[in-house]
Amino acid sequence: METAQLIAILATAIATATPLVYAAIGETITEKAGVINLSAEGTIMLSAMVAFAIAQTTNNLFLGFAGAAAMGALIALIVAFSTITLKQSQIAIGFVLALLCSDLSTFLGNPFVRIPGPTVPSWRIPLLQDIPILGPLLFRSDLLVYSSFALIFLSWFFFYRTRNGLLLRAIGEQPAAAFARGANVIFLRYFYTLFGGALMGIAGAAFSLDFKAGWSYRHTAGYGWIALAIVIFGGWNPLKVALGAYLFGILQSLASLAQSTIPQIPTQVFSVAPFVLMILVLALTGGDWIDRLLAPLPLSWRRPLAQALQATPPASLGKAFEQD
C-alpha cells in the first residue's frame, strides 16, 4: 500500500469518526453522571434532520448546528425528567425514545429527502497543511473535525484535572457521598445529561451538514448504537473513547477499500463488517480473558495494563438517587 493511499484511508477514517467522537463523548459525560441515555440513535437521527431542515431553509449553518444541539438537549431533558425525577427505567425510556425519534425523523424529514443544502466548508490551516504526512492527514479538514480534537482533550482534562470533573465522577460513583459534601446531585445530573444530549445533537448535524451532506431515511446507519458500544469499549475515558471511534472509522475505510478491490463479495458484507468487528472487540474488552492473558506478566506490569484494557462502568450508573 502506497503512502498516499494510506494517508487517504486514515484521513477518511478521521472524517468518518468525527460524528462518533461527538456522540460518544456526549454519552460518556452523561454516563459519568450516572445516567444512561439509550436514545442516542434516535437523537442523532432527529437532530440530523432538524439541522439539515434549518440550514437548508435559512441557508445558515450556525443555525442548523444550534437547532441540532437544542434538539439533542430537549430529548435528553425528556430522559432526565423521566429517569431522574420520575425514576422510571433508564433502559426502557432511552430505548423507546430511540425508536420514537428515529420514526419521527423519517416522518418530519420527508420533504427534505435528497435535496441540496449547505455543507461545512473545508478549512486548510496555512503552513501546517504542508507538513509531510501530518498535513494532509490532520490539517486539511474542516472546523468540525478540528473542534472534535479539542473536545477530546478538553473533556479528558475536565474529567481528571479539575474540581468540577472530580465532582462529576463523584455523582456517578458515589452520589450519596457527593450529596453529603454539599453537591446538588439532581441538578448536576440534569445539567450533564442535557449537555451530553447537546453533543449528540451536534453529532447528528455533523452527519447531515458535513460527513453525509443531505438528508435521507436511516441517514445515520446505526451510528448511535455504535457510539454506545464505543463508550463501553473506551472504559468511560474520553481518550480511549475517541480511540474507539477512530478504530471504527478505520474499519469502515478498510471495508470501503475492500469493497472496491474485491467486487465478487456482496456489498452488504462490507457494510456490516465494521459493526461485527466492533461488537467482537467490545466482547473481548468486557470479558475476563484480559486477566488470563496478562497472568504471566509481573504484577507491576499487570495492574496498569489491566486498568488500561478493562472497562469498568461508574458504580451508580443507571441507579436512581433520592435527594432529601
Write down the pLDDT at residue 268. Answer: 66
Write down the pLDDT at residue 273. Answer: 66
| Domain ranges for the chain | 3-309
Which sign, positive or negative, has the C-alpha torsion 222, 228, 229, 233?
Answer: positive
Write down the pLDDT at residue 302. Answer: 62
Q: pTM for this one?
A: 0.91
What backbone torsions phi and psi does residue 181 show, to the nearest 5 degrees?
-95, 10
Assigned CATH class of 3-309: mainly alpha
Write down the pLDDT at residue 167. Answer: 97
What parts of the chain have a pLDDT lower than 50? none
C-alpha–C-alpha distance, residues 63 and 52, integer Å = 10
C-alpha–C-alpha distance, residues 13 and 146, integer Å = 14
Write down the pLDDT at residue 317. Answer: 93
Write down the pLDDT at residue 233. Answer: 86
C-alpha–C-alpha distance, residues 246 and 158, integer Å = 21
Write down the pLDDT at residue 143. Answer: 94
Write down the pLDDT at residue 255. Answer: 77
